[in-house]
Structure 1
Amino acid sequence: MAGAALAVAGAAVTVGLSLPQDDGGDAANAATARQDAVAPAGRIEAAPAEGEKGVGRDPLTDAETARAERLAEAADGLRMNARDAEGDRGPQHLSTNLTEADPDLSAAAAAQRRADVVLYDYRTDSVVTRTVNLDTGKVEDTATDQGVQPPPSQDELKQAAQLLIADPLGAGLKSDYKDATDKPLTTAGQLQLSGMVFRKETVADVPSDLAACGRHRCLRIVAKVKNGPWIDTRALVVDLSDRTVGRLS
Structure 2
Amino acid sequence: MRELARRHLGKLVAGVALAAAGAAVAIGTSLPGDDAGGAGDAARAGAAQRDAVAPEGTVEAAPAEGDKGVGRDPLTDAETDRAEQLAVAGTALRMDARDVEGDRGPQHLSTNLTEVDPGLSAADAAQRRADVVYYDYKSDSVVTKTVNLDSAKVEDTRTDHGVQPPPSKDELAEAAQLLIADPLGADLKSDYKDATGRPLTTQDQLQLSGMVFRKETVAKVPSDLTECGKHRCLRVVAKVKNGPWIDTRALVVDLSDREVGRLP
Per the shorter chain, which TM-score range? 0.7 to 0.9
Residue 242 in structure 1 maps to residue 257 in structure 2:
yes
Higher relative contact order (Cα pairs below 8 Å, separated by 6+ residues)? 1
Residues 34-56 of structure 1: per-residue CA shift (max 9 Å, x gap): xxxxxxxxxxxxxxxx9411111
Match of 2:153 in 1: 138
Which letter does structure 2 place at the counterpart of 1:225?
A: V
Whole-Å separation in 2 of the counterparts to 1:75 and 1:209: 38
May I ask how many residue pairs the two structures share in their alignment?
A: 206
Counterparts of 1:73 and 1:197, CA distance in 2 = 25
Query: Computing the radius of gyration over CA atoms, which structure comes out larger, 1 or 2?
Result: 2
Q: Percent identity?
A: 80
Match of 1:167 in 2: 182
Identify unmatched segments of 5+ residues in structure 2. 1-12, 18-64
1:128 partner amino acid: V
Aligned match for 2:15, one of 22, 38, 41: 22
Tell me by how many angstroms 1:204 deviates: 1.4
Point out the more displaced range, 199-208 or 156-165: 199-208
Given that residues 209 and 238 in structure 2 are in contact (C-alpha distance below 8 angstroms), is that contact kept between their aligned partners in structure 1?
A: yes
2:101 to 78, 86, 111: 86
Contact kept? 1:129, 1:144, Cα under 8 Å: yes
In the alignment, the residues of structure 1 paired with residue 228 and residue 105 of structure 2 have an alpha-carbon distance, to the nearest angstrom, of 22
Q: Which amino acid is 1:226 matched to? A: K
Q: Deviations over 1:166-208 (max 9, x none)?
A: 0010001111111111111111111111111111111111111
Is contact 2:66–2:76 with CA below 8 Å preserved after alignment? no
CA distance in 1, matches of 2:146, 2:90: 11
Aligned residue among 98, 110, 123 for 2:138: 123
Paired position in structure 1 for 2:80:
65
Does 215-224 or 67-76 show the bigger shift? 67-76
Shift of 1:76: 3.1
Equivalent residue letter for 1:22: G
Residue 199 of structure 1: which of 189, 200, 214 is its match?
214
Instruction: Give, as a single letter, the amino acid of the residue that structure 2 aligns with 1:148.
Output: V
TM-score (ref. length: structure 1): 0.79
Match of 2:27 in 1: none
Q: Which amino acid aligns with 1:136?
A: S
Matched-pair contact (CA < 8 Å) for 1:75–1:139: no
Contact 2:176-2:236 at 8 Å conserved across structures:
yes
Pair 1:219 & 2:234 matched: yes
- In the alignment, the residues of structure 1 paired with residue 90 and residue 257 of structure 2 have an alpha-carbon distance, to the nearest angstrom, of 26
Which structure 1 residue ranges, 5 or more long, are not aligned?
1-19, 25-49
> Which shows bigger deviation, 153-162 or 75-84?
75-84
Give the conservation status (yes or no) of the 8 Å contact 1:128–1:143.
yes
TM-score calculated relative to the size of structure 2: 0.75
Deviations 1:219-245 (A, max 9, x none): 001000111000010100000001000
Matches within 5 A, 1:45-60: 51-60=66-75
